[in-house]
Chain A
Amino acid sequence: MSNTIVKMLSDTLAGFGAATWFFFRILGQLPQALLRPRLIVHQVHNAGALSLVIIMTCGLFVGMVLGLQGFDMLARFGSESALGSAAALALVKELGPVVAALLFAGRAGTALASEIGLMRATDQLVAMEVMAVDPFRYVVAPRFLGGIIALPLLTMIFIAIGIFGVQLIGVQQLGVDQGTFWSQMRGSVEIEDIMEGLIKGCVFGVACSLIAVYEGFTAAPTAEGVGRATTRTVVNSAVMTLILDYMITAIML
């Protein structure tokens, strides 16, 4: 019994250590990877542009729900006019970065992990090494960079669409005054709040991309291994995102 616990703990620790080591190996390859912007552009397209539809749809509906729930809650205190600032702050500081990161892990992270995992399973990575081509430089680093560039942008798009959704329900449907809605929002949202959202987006981008490429790269070279790597990517990304979210919030508040 205690043996299995010790084994689990040491496995978790070893996972963290290996992921950190992996991170530094990517960092070492970044200068060379930056010399090939084409590869990065391609990965920004894969991770970002292809996630756009899901991010926009979910952003709209999260904003609309926020409009309904926020209105109902604030109406109990007779202060519906605070809907704009309440919803905007919630979206900019928390919901936007976190939900965008979770969606990103589900859409782009799994794609990255399974792609690299399949390269491993079909011996493409080994073939590269045999040809003296560093797979870190050509496969891992561009995908990592693409994810880092894509997630902050996706976060901003998510927040903007979300605020549009709040406005759609709050102002157009439930009848909060338009001027009050926007002026209250402008009065309470500071540039620092948007910076907080942006910083969260960047940190989550690093975490989710790192987990995706790490799990893919270290996947067992079997069909089952690729599947397991994909699952672990989503689970670990979600857990890491929420833990990091707490830490950043505690630091920046």
Chain B
Amino acid sequence: MQSSRATEIVTGAFVLFGFAALFFLVTQITNKDFSAGSSGGYILIANYQNVGSLKVGAPVSMSGVTVGRVEEITYDQQQYRAVVKMRINGSFDRIPEDSDASIMTAGLLGGQYISVTAGGSDQFFKSGGQFMVVQDALVLENLINKLAASFSAK
């Protein structure tokens, strides 16, 4: 009786573990439910005409050092622009207010990230601050179109 009870307990743990793995795969690996990990730091906002394939969770970097993450990407129907909300690590609190935020691509086929270049202002961003200077994602098709147009104009 005792050994059968132990068997049942171990089996129960195994089945629970299996379902926990399934739950992990469904919620964490797919984009069904994104659970933002940290809630520290502060929020900065940037509006873009086109965010390309920028994804939630992509890094925000300054001079190549990751200082934060993209937390939310929404569409503003008043301005007809994409609104990117990023969470910056609290220790990077001296980002000048006239900095610019451009969407860059890592490598040839890599993921996209936001690159912040520091400006010269002595006023620093506070939580909820908005980037005034932004640069959209480079869309390859637009580039080719422009190139084709400039060739045909010649």
Q: Is the CB of B107 within 8 A of A78?
A: yes
Interface size, chain A (Cβ < 8 Å): 42
Chain A residue at minimum C-beta to C-beta distance from B17: A157
Q: CB-CB < 8 A to B18: which residues of A?
A: 48, 152-154, 156-157
B147 at the interface (CB under 8 A from A): no
- Roughly how many angstroms separate A198 CA and B29 CA in the complex, as a whole number? 14
Q: CB-CB < 8 A to A48: which residues of B?
A: 11, 14-15, 18
Q: Is the CB of A49 within 8 A of B29?
A: no
Chain A residue at minimum C-beta to C-beta distance from B61: A177
- Roughly how many angstroms separate A54 CA and B34 CA in the complex, as a whole number? 31
What 0/1 pattern do residues 121 to 158 of A give for CB contact below 8 A with B? 00000000000000000000000000001101110110
Chain B residue at minimum C-beta to C-beta distance from A157: B21
Chain A residue at minimum C-beta to C-beta distance from B110: A81
A183 at the interface (CB under 8 A from B): yes
Q: Is the CB of B107 within 8 A of A79?
A: yes
Q: CB-CB < 8 A to A157: which residues of B?
A: 17-18, 21
A116 at the interface (CB under 8 A from B): no
Chain B residue at minimum C-beta to C-beta distance from A186: B31
Pick the contact of A186: B11, B55, B69, B109 (CB < 8 A). Answer: B55
Q: Is the CB of B26 within 8 A of A191?
A: yes
Contact flag A82-B109 (CB < 8 Å), given A88-B29, A186-B31: yes
What 0/1 pattern do residues 23 to 41 of B give for CB contact below 8 A with A? 0111011111010000000
- Roughly how many angstroms separate A184 CA and B58 CA in the complex, as a whole number? 9
- Roughly how many angstroms separate A119 CA and B121 CA in the complex, as a whole number? 84
Q: Is the CB of A77 within 8 A of B25?
A: no
What 0/1 pattern do residues 144 to 188 of A give for CB contact below 8 A with B? 000001101110110111010000000000000101101111110
- Roughly how many angstroms separate A190 CA and B70 CA in the complex, as a whole number? 21
Q: Which residues of B contact A (CB under 8 A)?
A: 4, 7-8, 10-11, 13-15, 17-19, 21-22, 24-26, 28-32, 34, 53, 55-59, 66, 69-70, 106-111, 113
19 extra interface residue pairs, beta carbon distance < 8 Å, beyond A45-B11, A153-B14, A194-B22: A42-B7, A44-B11, A77-B108, A79-B109, A81-B111, A156-B22, A157-B18, A159-B25, A177-B106, A177-B113, A179-B59, A179-B66, A179-B70, A182-B28, A184-B55, A186-B28, A186-B30, A189-B29, A190-B30
